[in-house]
């Protein structure tokens, strides 16, 4: 039963930390290498760029430019508990506490603040790449980074799409900007655009996307061979290294490991899976333990996250690349967003939905009330929302969260019983 029974509530004895699997180690190395490459470039006097997560990385990669990703950096800093301090530094600089926590952390870094997370320190940028398909906060955030560091900003504007299909006029508009970005980055890098290399980079990115989707699909197994929370960690590779062959190889290795688990009936989830949920939104990085505790306590596995369909794009030329970059979670219409999520909820057989009303991410949280309504209506599963923040721990309350999780579990249980009774 869902609730905490005295008989089962006893905490298991603390186990020694399990060693990471070869695939997990490989995935971590791919990301560390991205940061290391930026430092090497700096030492060698080559320019380095700071890029938003859904800027067409294929362009910088083709031109051999070293690039780091402030969103990934901010997540890493927050997860290592330096987010609050960095946010406060940005607030002292004059940035409002209501601004996205990733932006605040990054702006503190852009101004020279040094994080305690050594692995996520980056050299100051020589150019900045921003694509606002992520959100509009990005635009001002990256403008500020460029201004603080007195360096060029290459901005790609992707309009919000209120249709499911991407219109040709969108493609033309974005294509023009991609072409212009290439010209600007040729100047910055001192390298000429090489169509053959571009094809190879795209092939790598497609291979990564396919392997990523394959990994995500393992969550369809019941019980799942892993926790969907792992995907949030692995997202770092998709963001920072999707054009690199090493990322594709590491995901392929992970898929092999998961295949083995399925064959053997084992899982990396550290508890038996009783319920399956979609976790909506970015996790509260500073509070991962608190986030995980009631899920573990109630046997709840996260088997669906929207990142799976939102980052698994495959394309074959510059125009289809433009189309792919129109489809970021917050730049698509609600119908598309609901469709992605409901598809994955069905495929991955979820019993409920846990929604993070993320104080940092207004665009993502704003549409969730309507989405929740649709999930309940279309999928017949209960949803619970909780308040939190991806980077600023001041916006999360563990006790409130626990009650909501327990409520969700109790509602899922009731739902299950009702369905069973109906079936009989």
Query: Least distance to ligand SF4 from the beta carbon of 138, Å?
Result: 6
Q: 327 Cβ partners below 8 Å, 6+ apart?
A: 133, 161, 166, 310, 313, 336
Q: Minimum distance from CB of 370 to other proteins (Å)?
A: 9
Give the footprint of ligand SF4 on residues 122-141 (CB under 6 A). 134-135, 137-138
Task: Give the CA-trace dihedral at 12, 353, 347, 273, to 10 degrees.
Answer: 10
- Cα separation, 305 vs 213, whole angstroms: 12
Q: Which residues 32-91 are close enough to bind ligand SF4 by CB under 6 A?
A: none
State which of positions 114-133 bind other proteins (CB under 8 A): none
CA–CA distance, 224 with 273 (Å, rounded to integer): 8
How far, in Å, CA of 389 to CA of 384, rounded?
Answer: 16
Task: Decide if residue 334 touches other proteins (CB under 8 A).
Answer: no
CB-based contact 350:382 (threshold 8 Å): no
Rounded least distance, CB 305 to other proteins, Å? 21
Residues 86-105 contacting ligand SF4, CB under 6 A: 100, 102-103
Strands of 127-131's sheet, edge to edge? 66-68, 48-51, 127-131, 153-156
6 binds, among ligand SF4, other proteins, none (CB under 5 to 8 A by kind): other proteins
Contact 3, 36 (CB under 8 A): no
Q: How far is the CB of 332 from other proteins (least distance, A)?
A: 23
Contacts of 57 (CB under 8 A, 6+ apart): 51, 67, 205, 242, 243
Interaction residues for other proteins, span 6-65 (CB under 8 A): 6
- The CB-of-186 to other proteins minimum distance in angstroms stands at 48
Dist CA 81 CA 122 (whole Å)? 17
Distance of alpha carbon 132 from alpha carbon 143, whole angstroms? 11
Number of chain positions touching ligand SF4 (CB under 6 A): 13
Q: How far is the CB of 404 from other proteins (least distance, A)?
A: 6
Which residue stretch of 88-96, 146-154, 164-172, 402-410 sits at the interface with other proteins (rule: CB under 8 A)?
402-410
* Of residues 346-375, those binding other proteins (CB under 8 A): 357, 369, 372-373
Size of the site for other proteins (CB under 8 A): 28
State the residues that interact with other proteins by CB under 8 A: 3-6, 357, 369, 372-373, 376, 382-385, 387, 395, 397, 399-400, 403-404, 406-407, 410-411, 414-415, 417-418
State the residues that interact with ligand SF4 by CB under 6 A: 100, 102-103, 134-135, 137-138, 330, 360-361, 363-364, 390
């Amino acid at each position: 039963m869902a609730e905490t029974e005295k008989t089962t509530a006893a905490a298991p004895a603390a186990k020694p930390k399990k060693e990471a699997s070869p695939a997990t180690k490989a995935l971590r190395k791919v990301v560390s290498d991205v940061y290391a490459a930026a430092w090497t470039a700096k030492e060698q006097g080559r320019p380095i760029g700071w890029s938003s997560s859904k800027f067409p990385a294929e362009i910088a990669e083709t031109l051999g430019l070293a690039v780091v990703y402030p969103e990934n950096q901010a997540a890493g800093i927050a997860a290592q508990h330096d987010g609050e301090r960095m946010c406060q530094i940005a607030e002292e600089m004059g940035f409002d506490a209501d601004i996205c926590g990733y932006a605040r952390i990054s702006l503190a870094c852009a101004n020279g603040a040094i994080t305690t997370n050594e692995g996520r320190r980056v050299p100051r940028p020589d150019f900045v790449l921003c694509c606002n398909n992520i959100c509009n906060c990005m635009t001002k955030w990256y403008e500020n980074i460029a201004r603080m560091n007195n360096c060029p900003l290459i901005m790609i504007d992707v309009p919000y799409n209120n249709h499911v299909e991407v219109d040709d006029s969108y493609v033309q508009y974005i294509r023009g900007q991609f072409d212009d970005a290439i010209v600007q980055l040729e100047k910055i890098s001192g390298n000429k655009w090489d169509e053959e290399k571009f094809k190879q980079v795209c092939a790598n990115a497609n291979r990564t996307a396919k392997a990523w989707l394959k990994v995500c699909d393992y969550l369809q197994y019941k019980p799942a061979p892993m926790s969907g929370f792992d995907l949030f960690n692995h997202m770092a590779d998709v963001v920072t290294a999707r054009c690199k062959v090493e990322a594709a190889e590491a995901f392929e290795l992970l898929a092999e490991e998961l295949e083995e688990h399925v064959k053997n009936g084992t899982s990396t989830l550290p508890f038996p899976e009783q319920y399956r949920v979609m976790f909506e939104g970015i996790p509260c990085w500073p509070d991962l333990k608190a986030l995980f505790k009631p899920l573990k306590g109630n046997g709840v596995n996260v088997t669906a996250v929207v990142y799976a369909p939102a980052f698994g794009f495959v394309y074959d030329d510059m125009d289809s690349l433009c189309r792919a970059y129109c489809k970021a979670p917050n730049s698509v219409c609600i119908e598309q967003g609901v469709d992605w999520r409901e598809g994955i909820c069905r495929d991955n057989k979820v019993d409920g939905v846990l929604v993070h009303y993320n104080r940092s991410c207004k665009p993502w949280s704003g549409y969730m009330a309507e989405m929740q309504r649709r999930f309940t209506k279309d999928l017949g599963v209960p949803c619970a929302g909780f308040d939190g923040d991806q980077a600023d721990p001041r916006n999360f309350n563990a006790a409130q969260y626990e009650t909501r999780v327990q409520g969700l579990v109790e509602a899922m249980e009731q739902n299950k019983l009702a369905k069973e009774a109906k079936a009989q």
